[in-house]
Structure formats: C-alpha cells, structure tokens
Homo-oligomer: A and B are copies of this chain.
Amino acid sequence: METYFESIKNKESSLPEQAADQISKLIIQNHLTGENKLPSEFELAELLNVGRGTIREAVKLLVARNVLEIRRGKGTYLAPNPGEVPDPLGFAYYPDQMRLAMDLVEIRSQLEPWVARMAAEHATAENIKILRECCSKVEQDILNKRDHSQNDVQFHVAIAECTQNLVVPKLIPIITYSITLFVSLTESRLRTETIVGHRELLEAISDGDGLRAEKSMIQHIEYNKALLQEITRREGEK
C-alpha cells in the first residue's frame, strides 16, 4: 500500500534515494528496533542488488533524516525516534515570524485546553511526578533569570504525555515553536504569569480535575495571546 507521504515524494528519485526507501521498508517490515543492528553495507548491497557506494549514500540519507544512527565502533542502528526531525514543518524558513507566532497561538488555543482536560483524566502517578519536575525546572530558570523556553515546551509536552495519546506529545513541540520566539520578546510580567499558570495546571491535573485543567489552560494561553497581540501592535507602530 502506497501511503500519502510516499506519493508526494519526487517520482524521479536517484539510486541512493531508491535504496534508502528499500532500507526503510526493510526496517518497517522486520519491525526493527533500536536494539537491532542493521545488516552490514556488504549484506545490504547483496540484498538490494546495488553497489556498496549506493548503500553508503542511502545510509547517509537516512542518517540525515534521523531514521538511522551510526554508533561509533558498533555499527548502524535505528535512531531513537526514527524519522522525527527538528523543525519538521520548516518554520525557521517562514518569512513572517510574527504572523507564524499568531497562527500558532490560535491552534494552541484550540488544542491545548482539550489536552489539559484529557491529561487530568488519564494521568498516571509517574506522569504527575515528571510533570512536577518539569514545572520546577521552569521556575528555577525564571528565578535564576535563565531562558526558560526549552523547559517551558517540555512542561507542555509532559502534560501531553498524561493523555496517553501517542501523537499529542509529538504535536506540542510543533505548535509551541512560538514560545522561544516569544520569551525573548516579553518581559517579567509573563514570567510571573508563567509560574502561576503552570502551578495551577499542575495542581488541576494532579487532582484529576479535567474541567479546572481545561480552564487553567484557556487562561494561560489567552494571556500569552493577548501579550503577543500587544507586541504585534507595538511592532506595527515602530
């Protein structure tokens, strides 16, 4: 079965590109995990009936795409989150970063309150423990005047993990891309609100109170949105 993603790829693909596809299929069909070593270059060349140079290039392609990783002195293995790449939608190349931030916060407003409610309803004790740690890390960053954006994203990912949905935690780093951009633009006002807002979220989720978690998230994102609108307006006036 050809998937949508396969069909949008360039049809006139090069030999290494074709070999990379075949290696991917091999991995999927054989349910390879990070524990299993990939067959050697020699074996792959035999198996796919192509030259070793082609295999070498194909492996490079798959490493570039984070499907494979080369462990020095050990061999080639499946990467930890195969196929996941940093900035998967190429946001860094968007010309209008402010508009991107606004469009992302619109999506966050729609998705994250639901995520918070699901989190409160499905979190395990282990999830809550991790969430609490993430919350502390953000507070420590803020109190020590360090950039808290990475730990802020991780806090929202930790909430997403409470839902037990496989995909939600993967979407959070995409839709919270604007946090990094945002943190550098905003002042201490938001930092205080972040501490209070995150604590409210943490407590609602650990109490298993879905409605309160949802409301806290709405408030948290609305605050961010209002501030972002203010910045956009100010930038426009310059």
Q: Which of A44-65 contact B (CB under 8 A)?
A: 60-61, 64-65
Which of A128-136, A176-184, A220-228, A230-238 forms contacts with chain B? A176-184
- B103 adjacent to A180 (CB under 8 Å): no
A7 at the interface (CB under 8 A from B): yes
CA distance A8 to B149 in the complex (A): 12
Contact in complex: B100, A177 (CB < 8 Å): no
Residues of B close to A106: CB separation below 8 A: 165
Residues from chain B with a CB closer than 8 A to the CB of A60 are 60, 64
Interface size class, chain A: 35 or more
Query: Please, how many angstroms separate the alpha-carbon atoms of A24 and B91 in the complex?
Result: 12
Q: Does residue A218 face the partner (Cβ distance < 8 Å to B)?
A: no
Q: Is the interface of A mostly helix, strand, loop or mixed?
A: helix
Give the complex CA separation of A60 and B64 in angstroms.
9
Interface residues in A16-43 (C-beta closer than 8 Å to B):
24, 27-28, 31
Q: A4-B149, A65-B65, A84-B88 are in contact. List 17 more A-B contacts (CB 8 A).
A: A1-B184, A3-B92, A5-B86, A5-B87, A5-B173, A6-B86, A28-B92, A31-B95, A61-B64, A66-B90, A82-B93, A83-B91, A83-B93, A88-B88, A89-B170, A106-B165, A110-B110
Taking beta carbons and an 8 Å cutoff, which residues of A are in contact with B?
1-9, 24, 27-28, 31, 60-61, 64-67, 78, 81-95, 99-100, 103-104, 106-107, 110-111, 114, 149-150, 153, 165-168, 170-171, 173-177, 179-181, 184
Q: Can you report 24 A-B residue pairs in the complex whose CB atoms are below 8 A from each other?
A: A2-B180, A3-B92, A3-B177, A3-B181, A4-B177, A4-B179, A5-B92, A24-B92, A60-B60, A64-B64, A65-B65, A82-B93, A83-B93, A84-B88, A88-B88, A89-B170, A99-B166, A103-B165, A107-B167, A107-B168, A110-B111, A111-B111, A167-B175, A171-B174
